[in-house]
Amino acid sequence: MQLQTGEGVRGYGEAAPLPGFNRETAEDCLALLQAAGREIDPGTANELRSGSECVYGAIQEAWSEVRLQVDKKSTPADGATKTPPSSAPWQVAALLPAGKAALAEVDVRLELGFRVFKWKVGVADVADELVLMDDLLARLPSGARLRLDANGAWDRRKTERWLERCADRPIEHVEQPLAPEMRGADDFLSGLAQDYPTPLALDESLVGADDVLRWLGRGWPGVYVVKPSLLGDAAEMIARLAAARARVVFSSALETGVGARNALRHALAWTGERRALGFGVWPLFADSQFDGPFHAPFLKTADVERLNPEAVWNALT
């Protein structure tokens, strides 16, 4: 969406949830926005909050961009006195395909300079995948790290089998071993996080602000995979995670350059411990002008600020 003030200052937000990422649909978001009309004041935005975290989030992002522009115009000298966030580049995790295909792919990505990898597991027999994991680890130079993502595919027994095997291996974390819908999943995940040394990461269990608050309330000791585009008021939720000194991996919800710019701005402003970004997803679109930043092992603020949401908007409308 494009938000424009009476003075012509514009900001952009993206509300485009994909199936499986949360409980919303892009059609619902569109219907809500069409019903809200062309003029959105803070009261309307708050009403939309209960209907859609993605729509509310997009409005917040667009507003925050507008405020940034207005502040820049009104106090141009201020920029020099503010401490800029660290400009050191962030590592980006490379995605590896499931199964044996990961072995060839990891060699290609290593050559490109990637050192953090995420491998999708839970798609084949456990014993076969455990052998493949060791084959993969054997290819990694020292200092490289492997994350596993089960996307909720395991049951309790399989999860324990994997975690026993991971215990003495350099696995950065195991993401979402159990489906959040499984009966007793939250308690079981909390128990596993205490029982095994490999950190567990929540992804599908964190589809919105309520989930973040619930897991913070439970004192989750593992990693939070945070997709800023799905959090509603992302700034507020990320501030809460920071206050709790949570371990966070920022991740893509497969946005266009509009949502990518907003989500990555949050990620790059994080002052807690840096974990490789889960944004190694582009190119995604047939027309490359809709993509987020170039797929590379490192990402800097300049790469994000170079994205032009207005160009994406103009190309789409």
CB of 148 to Mg ion, least distance (A): 10
Determine the residue with CB nearest Mg ion: 203
Q: Are 304 and 282 in contact (CB under 8 A)?
A: no
Q: Report d(CA 317, CA 310) in Å as an integer.
A: 10
* Residue 203 binding Mg ion, by CB under 5 A: yes
DSSP string, 159-208: HHHHHHHHTTS-EEEEE--B-TTSTTHHHHHHHHHHH-SSPEEESTT--S
CB of 252 to Mg ion, least distance (A): 10
User: Active-site residue numbers?
Assistant: 120, 227
Q: Name which of residues 148 to 187 contact Mg ion (CB under 5 A).
A: 149, 175
CB of 227 to Mg ion, least distance (A): 9
Q: Name which of residues 277 to 306 contact Mg ion (CB under 5 A).
A: none
CB of 306 to Mg ion, least distance (A): 27
The residue among 12 and 117 lying less far from Mg ion, judged by its C-beta, is 117
Say if strands 145-149 and 171-175 run parallel, antiparallel, or are unpaired: parallel
CB of 149 to Mg ion, least distance (A): 4
* Residue 14 binding Mg ion, by CB under 5 A: no
Interface with Mg ion (CB under 5 A), residue total: 3
The residue among 51 and 180 lying less far from Mg ion, judged by its C-beta, is 180
Q: Report d(CA 234, CA 259) in Å as an integer.
A: 12
The residue among 14 and 175 lying less far from Mg ion, judged by its C-beta, is 175
Q: What are the C-alpha distances in Å from 243 to residues 236, 239, 247?
A: 11, 6, 11
Stretch that binds Mg ion, among 16-24, 143-151, 156-164, 185-193 (CB under 5 A): 143-151
Q: Report d(CA 139, CA 107) in Å as an integer.
A: 8
Stretch that binds Mg ion, among 52-60, 99-107, 164-172, 196-204 (CB under 5 A): 196-204
Q: What are the C-alpha distances in Å from 111 to residues 107, 118, 166, 200, 297?
A: 6, 16, 26, 28, 10
- 283 cis-preceded (ω within 30 degrees of 0): yes
Residues interacting with Mg ion, by CB under 5 A? 149, 175, 203
